[in-house]
Amino acid sequence: MSGASPAPSASARRQTALYRAAASCISNHCLATPDVESIFIRRSVASGEAQFPWSDVDLGIVLSRFASEEEEGLALERLWTRYRLARLLFPRLGEAEVHAHGSLEESAIDDPYRASIDRRAAIPVLGAIPPMPPVPIAARDAIRRLIFWFDDYVPRSLRQKNHRNARKFAIEIWNAWRTASGGIAEPYLTRREAEHHWRESSDAPLLARAEESAGSAVRVCLTLANRAHSIHRPALPRLANPVSAEVCFLPGTAPRTLHLLPGPESEIPDGMPRPRDFVMTPEALDLFLNTQDPFLWHGLPAQVQDCLGGPPSHEAWLHACHRLASGQRLRVAGFVGTTTGRHQRRLRHIERILSLLERGVAPPTVTMEGDESSSEVAIPSIGAYYRECYPALLREALSLRARAQALFPASATGSPIG
């Protein structure tokens, strides 16, 4: 590699400045209350890659310290009400990652890859950002970020023939690949920087392939996933023909179609995928199960399970339970999505898996049946969720997280990444 990455254009700098000014205004005039300790800008607007009108302003919000979970829940309800009004004033206000006092460290342990970017790029607009501890990024952390893009993002770009997005995802995936393979200790901060280094590397022909079309970019994404598999998991048997099947993440969730391809260059069966479909090779699916969501294993039909080298590892289940029992995930109900019913169900499944792991039973050998009573339980509104459900769920999540932490080897100090 040679030379520094190119500076952003004057147009990009103007657009970024506009977004940052809007974020500062919204934060100081709509969200600033005694409940909030600090607010910072995250992701593309923080890194200087805002593009009007596609970019959203994503924020990090740190709550003040509260005496009880009940007080914290009421504060979240008040903040959500203000955030909803702020979105009406500025529709490009995107997602907010809401932290309780001290949870930035928890998030850094759960996702060192994203935490690395936030730590180096976040821009404060209200108060001071609490220290974000640097956590080493293990190969599995970078691979989990690499495979993240195959859930929704990559198949949607293929369905819409959106070359701009498919190419963008390819750059994100290459950045994660470079980190996972040891080429860099921390990911490049911007896609512009990652693209520059990719173009200057011996991998440049792969980038040229990604620039041909949306379909070519998706095949590059699959190629990089297969590479990552070779450094994290044992080789899989070659799949002879494409396999398509209905799968579920968890019992009771809506089914999605999985298109499993023998290789990155294979034709996608039945035409273009729907936006919510998976499009993967066996290697990509194996990575998804072992770094992102082992719970999917119970929703895979036997014909798909037979394409893999085996069920998710004990380590994969343990990491997933620890990460998914984070209190951070309970705070996003009104700030990242609008779903409140899934949180209790997620914690119920984590408890079942941890009970098996504590008894030395392999979770894949047990069928995870759906809870028939769940359909009879009313899904609370977001306000009611924070006010009435959040305190008990937070206490349950913290207990589950402690149980998961206790199962990690003693050599894993300060982090479950051991």
How do residues 271-325 score in pLDDT, each as one tens digit? 667 767 889 999 999 999 999 999 889 888 888 999 998 999 999 999 999 999 9
The reported pLDDT for the residue numbered 403 is 97
The reported pLDDT for the residue numbered 3 is 57
Mean pLDDT in residue range 217-242: 95
d(Cα 36, Cα 62) in Å, to the nearest integer? 6
The reported pLDDT for the residue numbered 376 is 46
Q: Is the pLDDT of residue 43 over 90?
A: no
The residue among 186, 175, 187 whose CA lies nearest residue 221 is: 175
3-state secondary structure 142-198: HHHHHHHCCCCHHHHHHHCCCHHHHHHHHHHHHHHHHHHCCCCCCCCCCHHHHHHHH
d(Cα 247, Cα 361) in Å, to the nearest integer? 24
Instruction: Kindly report whether the peptide bond that precedes residue 262 is cis, defined as omega within 30 degrees of 0.
Output: no
The reported pLDDT for the residue numbered 372 is 43
The reported pLDDT for the residue numbered 271 is 64
Question: Per DSSP, what are the bridge partners of residue 98?
Answer: 61
Mean pLDDT in residue range 202-227: 97
The reported pLDDT for the residue numbered 369 is 57
> Residue with structure tokens 């060192």?
112
The reported pLDDT for the residue numbered 252 is 59
Q: Is the pLDDT of residue 411 over 70?
A: no
Question: Per DSSP, what are the bridge partners of residue 279?
Answer: 259
The reported pLDDT for the residue numbered 184 is 97
CA 143 to chain CA centroid, Å, is 11
- Mean pLDDT computed over every residue of the chain: 89
Q: Is the pLDDT of residue 203 over 70?
A: yes
Q: Is the pLDDT of residue 370 over 70?
A: no
Quickly state the pLDDT bin for 62 (edges 50, 70, 90). Answer: very high
CB 23 within 8 A of CB 2: no
For 112-148, the DSSP string reads HHHHHHHHHH-EEEES-PPP-------HHHHHHHHHH
Q: Is the pLDDT of residue 166 over 90?
A: yes
Quickly state the pLDDT bin for 417 (edges 50, 70, 90). Answer: very low
Quickly state the pLDDT bin for 198 (edges 50, 70, 90). Answer: very high
Where is pLDDT greater, at 142 or 340? 142
d(Cα 66, Cα 75) in Å, to the nearest integer? 9
Q: What percent of the chain is modeled with pLDDT above 70?
A: 90
Q: What percent of the chain is modeled with pLDDT above 90?
A: 66
Strand pairing of 93-99 and 123-126? Answer: unpaired
Quickly state the pLDDT bin for 254 (edges 50, 70, 90). Answer: confident
d(Cα 371, Cα 363) in Å, to the nearest integer? 17
Where is pLDDT greater, at 418 or 355? 355
The reported pLDDT for the residue numbered 1 is 44
Strand pairing of 57-63 and 93-99? Answer: parallel
Dihedral over alpha carbons 404, 405, 407, 411 (to 10 degrees): 160
d(Cα 153, Cα 166) in Å, to the nearest integer? 8
The reported pLDDT for the residue numbered 367 is 61
- Domain 10-126: state its class: alpha beta
Report domain extents, the chain. 10-126, 139-238+262-283, 315-406
